[in-house]
Amino acid sequence: MAPPRILAAKAADAPTVAATAPPSLWDPVVRLSHWGIAAAVVLNALVNEGGSLAHVSIGWGAMALLLMRLIWGVLGPTEARFSAFPPNPLTAIAHLRGLASGERPREYPSHNPAGALMVYAFWAALTVVIATGLVMTGGATPMQVAADKAAVASGDWAALVKDDGEEDGEDSVFKEGAEEMHEIAANLLLILAALHIAGVFVEGRLIRRNLLAPMLLGSKTKAEAKRRQ
Amino acid sequence: MTDLHADLTEAQPDAAPARGGSQSGRSVKAPQDAARRQTAALSAFLLVQTVGTVFFVGDVIGDLREDPTSIHFMFEATVTMALVLGVLFGAFALRRTIELLRAQEAALDVARGALSDVIARQFQAWALTPAERDVAFLALKGLDVAEIAELRGAAQGTVRAQLTRIYSKAGVSGRAQFAAFFVEDLLGEGVGPAT
């Protein structure tokens, strides 16, 4: 009946300061690091040959994105901070049970408890992949890898010897273990990613909200969404 | 009725793009959009900077294992330290910017909501009919008779008659005074004797 309804609804859609609902648009650091890491994982797991210069470079890039996201978990805006989504398996289970029984879940200011657990699991697996990757390459930066490869290509095999020659026994066992873990954790990453996508899809349908838009460009208000079409 | 109203307000920027019917909305929103784009660009830059810094830190650690006493290492370590600090301060400044932007948006919403509350109450006090409220609202947003008629699918004569009734109910002489009715309070002691 009265005009305020429109404006009140608009105010509720806007990114809330007193956050009681997840943001309608995640901040750019969260979004860029999310998609950057997603691309890095897909490229390194499915496209690149392990140990290649591209593989190592992308791994280092993913490490940088992860580091920035972790720094952002302390320095970032409220909903990006760790304190907004503490890991708590009990509330996560309660949340999933609630979803399964069909009741409308309550709103959380950031990731929901199940999503939060997924985030931490993903970061842990990613950390393992990166750490074991560093062990496998002996911590060589992409620049060094490129230099070594160029040296080998030009016929100087000393670069290879330097890596494998010293402390052969213990070191190579250690590296083999790292390789094993690298592969297991990488597969785990892919499984977690699949679970994450399924979770976003299922929960989005259950609560009838587009959960993908806030991680892309945001849905903004209805009017703006309409105008954009 | 309410839905019609919502539709009208939503459709209005499309219907009258040339006129800039949403001047109030657009002029306040444009800098917000620019600020949002700027924040996104800053974030992208921060991430690129982080990638570069991480590569340098890796390089410095490599040097550290080779020869920690070399001038090369010490110099590079200092420079890299500066880079790391730069990234941290950059992240902190970005957070401040994002929060400032949100506070502004929230304030804007509150102001908009408050003004529209005032307008709604006043319309009620004047006992405007629902149709008149719609027309009055559109008129306040700066649409002219032809545009209002087009939006409402009514004849221009009808709209003109409705506007006349609105002005008489409000006790104002015409459109300028009608709009001024709501702006006046926001201006405070704007009108005084010229000094």
Test the B interface: residue of A29, A60, A70, A71 with most B CBs within 10 Å: A29
Strand (E) or helix (H) holding A60: helix A53-75
Q: Nearest Cα to A103, choosing from A222, A206, A184, A197?
A: A206
Contacts of B37 in chain A (CB under 8 A): none
Chain A nearest CA to B80, separation (Å): 14
What dihedral angle (degrees, nearest 10) is formed by the CA atoms of B143, B148, B151, B153?
Answer: -170
Average pLDDT, chain B: 79
For residue A179, what is the DSSP state? H
pLDDT for the residue numbered B191: 52
Smallest Cβ–Cβ distance between A29 and the set B1, B6, B47 belongs to B47
Confidence of residue A227 (pLDDT cuts 50, 70, 90): very low
Confidence of residue A222 (pLDDT cuts 50, 70, 90): very low
Neighbours of B70 (CB within 10 A): 12
A65 with B51: Cβ contact below 8 A: yes
Residues A148-193 have pLDDT tens digits of 888 888 877 766 665 544 555 667 788 888 889 999 999 999 999 9
Chain A nearest CA to B191, separation (Å): 29
Show contacts of A160-164: CB within 8 Å, 24+ apart.
Answer: A163/A138
Residues A77-109 have pLDDT tens digits of 888 889 888 888 888 888 888 888 877 777 788
Q: Tell me whether residue A193 is in a domain.
A: yes
Chain A nearest CA to B156, separation (Å): 23
pLDDT for the residue numbered A209: 77
Q: Which residue of chain B comes nearest to A18, CA vs CA?
A: B106
Q: Which residue of chain B comes nearest to A56, CA vs CA?
A: B55
Strand (E) or helix (H) holding A100: helix A89-100
Are the C-beta atoms of A48 and A58 separated by less than 8 Å?
yes
Give the C-alpha separation, A86 to A116, whole Å: 7
Give the C-alpha separation, B96 to B7, whole Å: 36
HSE-up of B94 (CA within 13 Å, CB side)?
29
pLDDT for the residue numbered B23: 41
Of A183-187, B118-122, B189-193, which range is least confident? Answer: B189-193
Chain A nearest CA to B55, separation (Å): 7
B47 with A8: Cβ contact below 8 A: no
pLDDT for the residue numbered A34: 93
Amino acid identity for residue A94 in this structure: A
Burial of A158 (0-12, 13-18, 19+ CB in 10 A): exposed
Enumerate the domain spans of chain B: 2-185
Contacts of B128 in chain A (CB under 8 A): none
Give the C-alpha separation, B117 to B176, whole Å: 21
Q: Which residue of chain A comes nearest to B45, CA vs CA?
A: A29
Confidence of residue B122 (pLDDT cuts 50, 70, 90): confident
Residues B49-106 have pLDDT tens digits of 999 999 989 888 888 888 888 888 888 899 999 999 999 999 999 999 988 888 888 8
Three-state SS string across chain B, please? Answer: CHHHHHHHHHHHHHHCCCCCCCHHHHHHHHHHHHHHHHHHHHHHHHHHHHHHHHHHHHHHHHHHHHCCCCHHHHHHHHHHHHHHHHHHHHHHHHHHHHHHHHHHHHHHHHHHHHHHHHHHHHHHHCCCCHHHHHHHHHHHCCCCHHHHHHHHCCCHHHHHHHHHHHHHHHCCCCHHHHHHHHHHHHHCCCCCCCC
Confidence of residue A142 (pLDDT cuts 50, 70, 90): confident
Smallest Cβ–Cβ distance between A32 and the set B44, B87, B116 belongs to B44
Complete DSSP assignment for A106-131: PP-SSS-HHHHHHHHHHHHHHHHHHH
Range among A16-30, A121-135, B105-119, B171-185 rated most confident: A121-135
Instruction: Say which residue, B111 or A69, is predicted with more confidence.
Output: A69
Show contacts of B65-72: CB within 8 Å, 24+ apart.
Answer: none
A223 with B88: Cβ contact below 8 A: no
Cβ-Cβ contacts under 8 Å for A172 (sequence gap 6 or more):
A164
Residues A24-66 have pLDDT tens digits of 788 889 999 999 999 999 999 888 777 788 899 999 999 999 9
For A88, phi then psi, to 5°, come to -150, 100
pLDDT for the residue numbered A158: 67
What dihedral angle (degrees, nearest 10) is formed by the CA atoms of B141, B144, B146, B152?
Answer: 20
Give the C-alpha separation, A152 to A160, whole Å: 7
Residues A16-31 have pLDDT tens digits of 334 467 777 888 899 9
User: How many beta-carbon contacts under 8 Å exist across A and B?
Assistant: 124
Give the C-alpha separation, B9 to A80, whole Å: 34
Give the C-alpha separation, A134 to A14, whole Å: 43
In the predicted structure, residue A14 carries a pLDDT above the cut 60: no
Smallest Cβ–Cβ distance between B59 and the set A11, A16, A141 belongs to A141
* Whole-complex ipTM: 0.73
Smallest Cβ–Cβ distance between B5 and the set A6, A15, A72 belongs to A6
Test the A interface: residue of B8, B29, B45, B54 with most A CBs within 10 Å: B54
Instruction: Say which residue, A176 or B7, is predicted with more confidence.
Output: A176
Q: Tell me whether residue A184 is in a domain.
A: yes
In the predicted structure, residue B26 carries a pLDDT above the cut 60: no
pLDDT for the residue numbered A115: 87
B13 with A11: Cβ contact below 8 A: no
A222 with B10: Cβ contact below 8 A: yes
Q: Which residue of chain A comes nearest to B10, CA vs CA?
A: A223
Smallest Cβ–Cβ distance between A32 and the set B47, B54, B102 belongs to B47
Smallest Cβ–Cβ distance between B112 and the set A7, A17, A67 belongs to A7
In the predicted structure, residue B4 carries a pLDDT above the cut 70: no
Contacts of B42 in chain A (CB under 8 A): 28
Burial of A39 (0-12, 13-18, 19+ CB in 10 A): middle
Contacts of B120 in chain A (CB under 8 A): 2-4
Residues in chain B: 195
- For residue A51, give the CATH number of its domain: 1.20.950
The total domain count for chain A is 1
pLDDT for the residue numbered A147: 85
Give the C-alpha separation, B62 to B33, whole Å: 44
Contacts of A84 in chain B (CB under 8 A): none
In the predicted structure, residue B172 carries a pLDDT above the cut 60: yes
A141 with B58: Cβ contact below 8 A: yes
Residues B137-168 have pLDDT tens digits of 899 888 889 999 988 888 999 999 999 999 99
Domain range spanning residue A44?
Answer: 27-101+113-217
Instruction: Say which residue, A189 or B116, is predicted with more confidence.
Output: A189
